[in-house]
Amino acid sequence: AREWHLIARPQGWPKPEDFALREVPVAEPGEGRILVRNRYFSVDPYMRGRMNDVKSYAPPFELDRPMDGGAVGEVVASNAEGFAVGDEVLHRLGWREYAEVEAAHAAKVDSSVAPLTTYLGVLGMPGLTAYAGLFEVASFKEGDAVFVSGAAGAVGSQVGQMARLRGASRVIGSAGSDEKVRLLTEEYGFDAAFNYKKGPVAEQLKEAAPDGIDVYFDNVGGDHLEAAISSFNVHGRATICGMIAQYNATEPTPAPRNLALVIGKRLRLQGMLVADHNALRPEFVREVSGWLRSGELKYQETVVEGVERGVDAFLGLLRGDNTGKMLVSLDGA
Ligand code: NDP
């Protein structure tokens, strides 16, 4: 079976040569473990940080070892109580065709309740990030005007729709193509959206939010954060979720030049890690499942076919090739 190894630490933008797809034997599951045939694995922006050899909230990938990350698949051999051949599971050993997983680190899922892919997306880690980041971290309340960057992505597309469903006065999104901008206003019910590549973010945001914003959900950093600080009303709150605009930077990036506005406007800029919000999961699954069933909440996935295209999928994610959750399908195998 094949698995992806990191073989060199990228400087700036990762290159295909930094990775290798290697053939390895498929192990029988050890005591308390299961063997899973992966059907989908996730590629996520945070993985870029794990390619650097620096201490962070997620440990760095080791060189010449398999990379890992979220995956869903089917149990093909079990040496653990409570797991049988044919069970579907969510686990953390992605980037490979077969995963030998400690059963305690696998969670059963059910593709008859929701499509298998959604456990990596709208009902999984990115969905919970949106839900917790908006409702807990940003203390969203009805009537708030909400701005979200990366708004056509896995997290951002959910943030904007969740804000609308809970009674935001106005929802504004930014994304990197006209097609994505259209999706936001025509399908996802955003009140306004703009293409950040087409003009200064600050000006476009002012135009889209003439009465200012109360919540900013930051997936991007850089000029987006600076623009949000300028557009904030007093007591505005930002969830600092991601700063993808600087993940490939080789030099320190400038801070928002208008940071002093935080004082007079009494702003709150709050970082978040989704792992802190597991207690919210049952409520998240209940409410989001309801919205999905009623059709009020929509989502998209961009599925790249074939383990051999895993790195292409990851590089494409960093470039914005995806709409909604970026996934790699192994089902053709
Ligand atoms: P997305 O599905 O949003 O994919 C990434 C998107 O980022 C691309 O589609 C691209 O869209 C956009 N992008 C890339 N470069 C830039 C740039 N220079 N400026 C603006 N946009 C850019 O990924 P996720 O939804 O999985 O993640 C979104 C953010 O949330 C990331 O920053 C990620 O690190 C963070 N995150 C944080 C978590 C936490 O616990 N703190 C948990 C999960 C995610 P476009 O075409 O619009 O440019």
Task: Return the domain boundaries, the chain.
Answer: 2-121+300-329, 125-276
Among 272, 226, 224, 3, which residue's Cα sits nearest to residue 126?
272
CATH class of 125-276: alpha beta
How far apart CA 159 and CA 167 sit, in angstroms, is 12
With a 6 Å cutoff on the Cβ, whether 156 touches ligand 1 is yes
Distance from the CA of 51 to the center of ligand 1, in angstroms? 17
With a 6 Å cutoff on the Cβ, whether 241 touches ligand 1 is yes
Distance from the CA of 301 to the center of ligand 1, in angstroms? 14
Which pTM value belongs to this model? 0.98
What is the CATH superfamily name and number for domain 2-121+300-329?
Answer: Medium-chain alcohol dehydrogenases, catalytic domain (3.90.180.10)
> What's the ipTM?
0.99
- Reported as a pLDDT band with limits 50, 70 and 90, residue 331 is confident
- Reported as a pLDDT band with limits 50, 70 and 90, residue 332 is confident
User: Which atom of ligand 1 lies nearest, measured to the CA of 177?
Assistant: 46
pLDDT of residue 86: 98
Q: In the predicted model, what is the mean pLDDT of residues 153-181?
A: 98
Instruction: Tell me if residue 244 falls in helix, strand or coil.
Output: helix
- pLDDT tens per residue, range 12-70: 999 999 999 999 999 899 999 999 999 999 999 999 999 999 988 889 999 999 999 99
Distance from the CA of 256 to the center of ligand 1, in angstroms? 19
DSSP 252-309: PPPPPTTTTHHHHTT-EEEE--GGGGGGGHHHHHHHHHHHHHHT-S---EEEEESGGG
Q: Is the dihedral of CA 40, 44, 50, 51 positive or negative?
A: positive
- Reported as a pLDDT band with limits 50, 70 and 90, residue 130 is very high
- pLDDT tens per residue, range 92-123: 999 999 999 999 999 999 999 999 999 999 99
pLDDT of residue 39: 98
With a 6 Å cutoff on the Cβ, whether 322 touches ligand 1 is yes
Mean pLDDT of the chain: 97
Distance from the CA of 244 to the center of ligand 1, in angstroms? 5
Q: Is the pLDDT of residue 333 over 80?
A: no
With a 6 Å cutoff on the Cβ, whether 242 touches ligand 1 is yes
pLDDT of residue 203: 98
Residue closest via CA to ligand 1's atom 8 equals 320
Mutate to test the pocket of ligand 1, among 42, 131, 155 (most ligand atoms within 8 A of CB): 155
Distance from the CA of 314 to the center of ligand 1, in angstroms? 12
With a 6 Å cutoff on the Cβ, whether 256 touches ligand 1 is no
- pLDDT tens per residue, range 218-275: 999 999 999 999 999 999 999 999 999 999 999 999 889 999 999 999 999 999 999 9
With a 6 Å cutoff on the Cβ, whether 43 touches ligand 1 is no
Q: Is the pLDDT of residue 302 over 80?
A: yes
Q: In the predicted model, what is the mean pLDDT of residues 77-82?
A: 98
- Reported as a pLDDT band with limits 50, 70 and 90, residue 190 is very high
User: Which atom of ligand 1 lies nearest, measured to the CA of 196?
Assistant: 20
